[in-house]
Amino acid sequence: MLAACGTPERPSAFGTYGGGSSDGDAATGSPSIVVDASSNFEPMCNLGPEGGVCACVDQNLVGDVPTIYFVLDRSGSMLEMNKWTNVQITLNELVIAIGPRAKIGAAVFPNPAGDACSTGVQVVAPRLGDRPAGRAGATQAILIQTLSAIPAAGGTPTAATLAALTPLLEANPGRTYVVLATDGGPNCDSFASCDVDSCTSNIDNATDCPTGGPTNCCTQPDIGPEACLDSQPTLDAVSQLFSAGIPVYVVGVPGSAPYAQLLDQVAQAGGTARGSEPQYYAIDSSDTADLLAALSSIAAKITGTCTLELDAVPPDPGLVNVFLDEQPVPQMGPDGWTLDGTTVTILGASCDAILGGSVLDVRVVAGCPTVVF
């Protein structure tokens, strides 16, 4: 009988993970959370002789682990169509799928502890994703439990939030990418002034503020200049991040369409403009599948690679498998994979799926006979 097949014992990994520990603390000010770290269990891969069960273990990957840092709009309009809840549902799926291939951090705006226009704050410090990919764990739990404790309310202080986060993000080691998700135009600048066409209350057709006027609601005492579109400061803040080597991806959730021109400019300033209009990632549907597809595409640009480096040579190359979204990929054929020492190279359509974002959960697993065809 093959070692570790048909028995409850699992084979030992032939190395230790090179990307750092998945342990870490949420940012100061986050709700107190207790997480059972034992949820990071090793899966059974069901590839044993005659359909028996092999106990398999993920093999450790080495290399640069990027940080995906979510900056999330939690303004009052995110209550509409359950947008704030849908963002959390989508991030939950995304973070589980990415696993340890990225570190995850998050900030929200406005500050949950402040007023409607208070500068946003970090709520989850960057921490390694859960291992193995495809399984919930401590990072996923901290992120979602933290966000679910924060209600949607307030304005959209995008520029001030990005400017305040810049030193923090510059100090983060390794490659860092910001994913800005918002459903409207930036505002909350008390020093702004604008005409009716640049007043977000008018653009959003708020009560008694019809699009185009005749009343410029940003001159009304009960609304004020904080409702003016804060375009240039937002572009300046994003440009500063990009100049520091931190690209900014822009995701416009439902409600952002009236601000498409500005969001295109923000994507350009962040160095992530798409090749066609809209140049940002525009989501028109409240269906979480569309949001997940957009975020998966972004994550693939950040983490996607078809060349995986193991931290040691497998002791038995005949007991190694590649899994994409929890399914083993046959080794042979144009869409299979190769193993050369410590390097696993994924080929053809399997590689395209990784680079295109339709597959995020990528694992190399040892302990069971290689699926060849």
Gap between the Cα atoms of 282 and 267, Å rounded: 11
Q: Tokens for 10?
A: 């699992």
- pTM for the structure as a whole: 0.84
Determine the pLDDT at residue 2: 37
Determine the pLDDT at residue 45: 55
Determine the pLDDT at residue 282: 97
- Contacts of 222 by beta carbon, 8 Å cutoff, 6+ apart: none
Contact call for residues 175 and 64 (beta carbons, < 8 A): yes
Phi, psi of 287 (to 5 degrees): -70, 125
- Cα dihedral 339/344/350/354 (nearest 10): 180
Contact call for residues 179 and 251 (beta carbons, < 8 A): yes
Cis peptide before 110 (omega within 30 of 0): yes
**pLDDT by position in tens, the chain (length 373):** 333 444 444 444 443 322 333 333 333 333 222 223 333 333 445 554 444 445 677 788 887 899 999 999 999 999 999 999 999 999 999 999 999 999 999 999 999 999 999 999 999 999 999 988 888 999 999 999 999 999 999 999 999 999 999 999 999 999 999 999 999 899 999 999 999 999 999 999 988 899 988 999 999 999 999 999 999 999 999 999 999 999 999 999 999 999 999 999 999 999 999 989 999 999 999 889 999 999 999 999 999 999 999 988 988 899 899 999 888 899 999 999 999 999 999 999 999 999 998 998 899 988 888 999 8
Query: DSSP assignment of 224-236, as one string?
Result: -GGGB--HHHHHH
Contact call for residues 305 and 346 (beta carbons, < 8 A): no
Gap between the Cα atoms of 220 and 371, Å rounded: 69
35-75 per-position pLDDT tens digit:
233 333 334 455 544 444 456 777 888 878 999 999 999 99
Contact call for residues 92 and 128 (beta carbons, < 8 A): no
Q: Tokens for 1?
A: 């009988």
Q: Tokens for 32?
A: 């107190």
- Cα dihedral 86/88/94/95 (nearest 10): 180
Q: Tokens for 261?
A: 């021109």
Task: Say if strands 362-366 and 320-324 run parallel, antiparallel, or are unpaired.
Answer: antiparallel
Determine the pLDDT at residue 169: 98
